[in-house]
Each structure stands twice: as C-alpha cells, then as structure tokens.
Amino acid sequence: MAPATGLAADAEQAANPVVAAATAEDDTSAAMQDEATLPDNGVHRVKAPDIDIAGLRDPFESYLTVLDQQNKERMHANRSRTPDHEAQPLEGFDLGALKLVAIMKMGGSRAAMVEDPEGKGYVVRTGTYIGRDNGRVVNISERSVEIMEDEFTATGEIAKRKAALTLNEVNQ
C-alpha cells in the first residue's frame, strides 16, 4: 500500500492506531537527528568581562555639572598653593548664604557688616576676601557691596564675574 498524503493520511492514522504510533516515532527520531546535527546549540557560552564601575562617571549626571565641580576644586587647590593672603572666615561661605545687614561710613571710606548663616557678624571693607570663589570686595555703595569672583568658563579658563550683596529694607 502506498503511503497516503494530506487528509487521506490523517484519516488513515485515525483509523489505524499502529500506523499513528509508528508515524509519531518517526517524527520524534527525525527531530532528534536534526537537533544532533545542529551546531553546538550554545554549549560554549561567552562570559562577559568584569567591569569596574568605580572609575566611570554617572551617565545620568550632566557632563557640564561634573566639569564645573572639577574646575571649582582645581580653583580652590590653586588658591591654597598660592597664599597671597591668609584665609578669612568669610571665604568658607557661598555668597548666597551671606546677608548684608549694615553699611556705614567711617572717615572717608565705607564699611559693611555681613552676617553668616549662624548669625555671626563680620565687618568688610574694600579689598576683603569673601565667598568660596575667590571673591574680593571691590566697592561699597550706599545700598550694596560689589564683589568680583573667579568663575570658570565652558572652556575651563578663569574669568572674573561681578556679584553683589544688597541691603534689604525692613518694612515696619
């Protein structure tokens, strides 16, 4: 009897359980032979190299923020290597943390009183160093204290930047 194909084969297998079992065995052995002839089936897996992430930068942190921080650290290191003046207490604070509380005229020049975050007051005059970014008082007017600070540009060069502390009015 010639082997049946298509729907006729399915009908023959359903009618004769011995033929159905033999066909299933042939299919299984054929699948095993095909699997045995396949190339290595991933038996030889490649191990990924170990990576030390301690030296890598955070991919979610802005590169410009990291560069700015490195530049500030370098500026502070350079200042400590060239001590043209003795460090003053006001150099330990950011300008935003300081508060201008008074301006007075003494003789022919002006002086100002600056308060730190803890409430301690300091008298500053023209030439006084103030702030963390190598700031120096350049002018004291009736309402404000002008300060020149060092700032790093995008190219990493040091540039001067003008900042000011202003006297706040108290409404009574």
pTM (predicted TM-score): 0.53
- Amino acid letter, 48: A
Estimate the crossing angle of helix 17-37 against helix 7-15, to 10 degrees: 120
The percentage of the chain sitting over the pLDDT mark of 90, rounded to a whole number, equals 26
Residue 115 contacts residue 121 (beta carbons within 8 Å): yes
> 78-92 burial string, b = 16+ CB within 10 Å, else e?
ebeeeeeeeeeebbe
Provide the domain limits for residue 15: 7-36
Quick check: is 132 in a domain? yes
Quick check: is 2 in a domain? no
Q: How far apart are CA 102 and CA 140, in angstroms?
A: 11
What confidence score (pLDDT) does residue 146 get?
95
Quick check: is 52 in a domain? no
Do 105 and 161 reside in the same domain of the chain?
Answer: yes
User: How many domains does the chain contain in total?
Assistant: 2
Do 74 and 158 reside in the same domain of the chain?
Answer: yes
- Amino acid letter, 137: V
> What are 73-122's pLDDT values in tens digits?
776 666 554 456 777 888 888 888 999 999 999 888 899 999 999 999 99
Q: What is the CATH number of the domain that holds 68?
A: 2.30.30.830
What confidence score (pLDDT) does residue 73 get?
77
